């Protein structure tokens, strides 16, 4: 059961509460894996994924039949600084596209057999420009976290969170820089495709924001000062999924920045999550390295929307189908060497 999310204190308590994989299911799944009709380890990472999934679901022989994709949308005051190749109106236009089934994520969710929900967060009220002050007040942060918190279907058995928000590779870069240090240039990429002058300007904006909010506090304070509503909603959903024991597939750079805010507060906050893919946004690999996550796919995607996470659902489904559907040596009458 998810506690009601009324303020940051309840969120912090829930994030730090008791939850984890089921040891008996983990052991049962590992035992079963050792008896399946294949040479030991021959299914490579699929074996680890299936055992990990079984542990979080509390079922040594699980199935994935109800994956959920949630796309959160938000707008960013920092777009006034010219950080994106596209205008902010595209956020609401893309929300309509999602609702009409016309975006990439609609096709990828469908192909993966996932349901898809879209939550637009106050698109006509962008966050504040983080070069002049905190992006969100604490109340705004709680509201955004709560949208993600309550968007997770408790009956889902796998979750992908994605985002739409013109300008949001800038807050994602600022979050990464604030969490991990180094130069703004290390974390700033081209997003939707800014040119060289645009990249230099975006890097300056990231540096200014990180300097202004240098003493903001931990990952959740950084999320408030430098993040955005859809980024916070993703963090809220990822945290809720852990409590509901729903494994999560992370998407690209922006989703990983949201997740990183949680990992900064609790080091095992993302144990129920795998990295679906490595985005072509330059710094994504470095964020995943910081999180200790090895991506499942590397297809040169730089889209967001949950696209890479949705693609990776197919890999998890396949891993779990092998684990739970294969015959054991004894059942099949195959000599186990």
Ligand X SMILES: Cc1cc2ncn([C@H]3O[C@H](COP(=O)(O)O)[C@@H](O)[C@H]3O)c2cc1C
Residues that bind ligand NIO (CB under 6 A): 169, 191-192, 251-254, 279, 281, 284, 302-304
Q: How many CB atoms lie within 10 A of CB 154?
A: 12
Q: Residue 232 Cβ, how far from ligand X at the closest point, in Å?
A: 15
Q: Residue 253 Cβ, how far from ligand NIO at the closest point, in Å?
A: 3
The interface partner of residue 90, options being ligand X, ligand NIO, none and the CB cut-off 5 to 8 Å by kind, is: ligand X
Residues in the chain: 337
Which residue out of 163, 230, 281, 305 is catalytically annotated? 305
Among the listed residues 34, 230, 12, the one whose alpha carbon sits nearest the alpha carbon of residue 121:
230
Q: How many CB atoms lie within 10 A of CB 322?
A: 17
Binding footprint of ligand X on the chain (CB under 6 A) = 84-86, 90, 94, 163-170, 191-192, 303-305
Neighbouring residues of 284: CB distance < 8 A, sequence distance ≥ 6: 252, 253, 256, 278
Among the listed residues 283, 56, 293, 311, the one whose alpha carbon sits nearest the alpha carbon of residue 179:
283
Is 138 designated active site? no
Q: Residue 51 Cβ, how far from ligand NIO at the closest point, in Å?
A: 28
Q: Which is nearer to ligand X, 106 or 143 (CB)?
A: 106
Q: Which is nearer to ligand X, 81 or 324 (CB)?
A: 81
The interface partner of residue 284, options being ligand X, ligand NIO, none and the CB cut-off 5 to 8 Å by kind, is: ligand NIO
Environment class of 326 (CB within 10 Å of its CB; exposed 0-12, middle 13-18, buried 19+): middle
Q: Residue 252 Cβ, how far from ligand NIO at the closest point, in Å?
A: 2
In Å, how far are 35, 43, 222 from 333, measured between CA atoms?
Answer: 12, 20, 57
The interface partner of residue 167, options being ligand NIO, ligand X, none and the CB cut-off 5 to 8 Å by kind, is: ligand X
> Which residues are marked as active site?
305
């Amino acid at each position: 059961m998810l506690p009601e999310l009324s303020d940051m204190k309840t969120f912090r308590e829930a994030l730090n509460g008791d939850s984890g994989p089921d040891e008996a299911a983990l052991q049962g799944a590992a035992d079963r894996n050792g008896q399946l009709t294949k040479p030991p380890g021959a299914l490579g990472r699929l074996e680890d994924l299936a055992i990990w999934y079984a542990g979080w679901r509390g079922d040594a022989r699980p199935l994935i039949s109800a994956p959920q994709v949630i796309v959160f949308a938000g707008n960013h005051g920092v777009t006034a600084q010219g950080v994106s190749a596209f205008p902010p109106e595209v956020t609401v236009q893309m929300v309509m596209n999602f609702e009409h089934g016309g975006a990439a994520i609609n096709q990828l969710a469908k192909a993966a057999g996932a349901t898809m929900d879209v939550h637009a967060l106050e698109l006509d009220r962008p966050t504040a420009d983080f070069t002049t002050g905190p992006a969100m007040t604490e109340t705004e942060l709680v509201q955004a976290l709560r949208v993600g918190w309550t968007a997770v279907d408790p009956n889902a058995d796998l979750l992908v969170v994605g985002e739409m928000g013109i300008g949001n590779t800038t807050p994602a870069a600022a979050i990464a820089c604030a969490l991990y240090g180094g130069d703004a240039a290390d974390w700033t990429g081209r997003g939707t495709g800014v040119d060289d002058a645009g990249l230099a300007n975006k890097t300056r904006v990231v540096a200014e924001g990180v300097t202004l909010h240098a003493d903001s506090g931990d990952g959740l304070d950084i999320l408030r000062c430098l993040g955005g509503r859809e980024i916070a909603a993703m963090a809220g959903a990822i945290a809720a999924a852990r409590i509901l024991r729903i494994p999560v597939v992370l998407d690209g750079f922006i989703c990983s920045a949201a997740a990183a805010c949680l990992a900064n507060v609790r080091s095992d906050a993302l144990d129920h999550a795998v990295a679906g893919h490595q985005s072509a946004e330059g710094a994504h690999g470095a964020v995943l390295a910081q999180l200790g996550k090895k991506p499942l796919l590397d297809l040169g995607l730089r889209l967001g929307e949950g696209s890479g996470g949705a693609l990776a659902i197919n890999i998890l489904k396949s891993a779990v189908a092998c684990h739970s559907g294969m015959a054991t040596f004894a059942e099949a009458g195959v000599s186990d060497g």
